[in-house]
């Protein structure tokens, strides 16, 4: 990926973050959902955001049958790194 050092001001923070962390890749099932029906991702992420709010204050969480676990990043950003098993 070609990341410019200079450019429009609003893109500098995302460019710096991608340089620091690298480009995120979608998992197998998330990629399929995106290719099959991109709207599905919106609803799925909304569910995970709701669940993340419900889990505030919990020490441990286990997600079973999570597929590629891509959407668990929504929960992880708000709290901790829960174990997930598929």
Q: 67 is written with which tokens?
A: 């597929």
Tens of pLDDT, residue by residue over 41-55, are 888 888 888 888 888
Please answer whether residues 65 and 47 qualify as being in contact, where contact means their C-beta atoms are separated by less than 8 angstroms.
no
Of 17, 22, 78, nearest to 50 by C-alpha is 78
Model confidence at 86: pLDDT above 60: no
Model confidence at 76: pLDDT above 60: yes
**Domain boundaries of the chain, sorted by first residue:** 27-85
Q: Residue 85: beta bridge partners?
A: 64
DSSP 5: S
Work out the average pLDDT over 51-71: 75
Q: For the chain, give me the number of helices (H) and strands (E)?
A: 4, 2
25 against 71, higher pLDDT = 25
């Amino acid at each position: 990926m070609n990341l410019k050092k200079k450019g429009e001001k609003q893109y500098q923070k995302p460019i710096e973050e991608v340089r620091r962390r690298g480009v995120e890749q979608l998992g197998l099932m998330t990629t399929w959902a995106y290719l099959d029906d991109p709207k599905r991702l919106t609803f799925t992420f909304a569910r995970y955001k709701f669940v993340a709010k419900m889990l505030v204050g919990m020490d441990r969480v286990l997600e079973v049958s999570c597929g590629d676990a891509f959407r668990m990043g929504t929960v992880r950003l708000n709290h901790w790194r829960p174990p997930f098993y598929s």
